[in-house]
Amino acid sequence: MGSLKWFSTTATTILVVATCFSFNGGDADQALIERICKQSQDYSFCMSTLGNDPRSGTADLRGLAMISTSLSIIKIQDTLSRLPDIIKQTTDPLAIRRLGVCQTDYDGSLVNFKGAYNATSNNAFYDAIDFVRNGTNQVIDCHNIFRREGPIATSPIAGDDINVFKLSELILIAIDDLLHKKYL
């Protein structure tokens, strides 16, 4: 069963990455990426993420939204693949329960970000916004579970949570620009 899940995850990742490489908008340049990044709360993260991604150079604004979404999917899948080992190494029953909540939240988030990817691919931008919002809220729930129902603690995947939040912002900036016809 684990082998089937691994295959499914790997196949999805390959499909997302392959689709992103097929962008032929051709009008993403450094200036477009910088305009997106200047709107973000973490310019350095945005530039290192989008600016260094080889797919960005040939992507249009929609392509940048899809690249950001595919990076979110990859980050979520990576976190999900590490969670079982993190849980096995944890001895605190409360932390184990909290990480179980995170596993469920990340599973749901993955479904939502895949929905966002498909919606963006089909130019259904309002649907994509809903998927990103729902997926991000699930990661927020994971992040916040370590602050409620017992002593406050730092999640061992807090950094992953933050990266999903930052990637979500990049998706929403690009989609907002598409909806308002900026930079087209």
Scanning the structure block, which residue is given the tokens 């992040």?
143
CATH code of the domain made up of 2-179: 1.20.140.40
Give the C-alpha separation, 161 to 100, whole Å.
15
Residue-level pLDDT at 154:
95
Residue ranges for the chain with pLDDT beneath 70: 1-28, 182-184
Give the C-alpha separation, 136 to 106, whole Å.
9
Alpha-carbon distances of 100 from 59, 62, 119, 124, rounded to whole Å: 37, 35, 29, 33
Residue 58 has what DSSP assignment? G
Residue-level pLDDT at 75:
98
Give the C-alpha separation, 133 to 97, whole Å.
25
Residue 55's nearest CA partner among 95, 22, 89, 94 is: 22
pTM of the model: 0.83
Residue-level pLDDT at 144:
97
Residue 141's nearest CA partner among 108, 92, 95, 111 is: 108
Residue-level pLDDT at 24:
38
- Whether residue 15 contacts residue 21, with contact meaning beta carbons closer than 8 Å, is answered with no
Residue-level pLDDT at 118:
98
Residue-level pLDDT at 30:
86
Residue-level pLDDT at 182:
55
Residue 53's nearest CA partner among 77, 81, 28, 24 is: 28
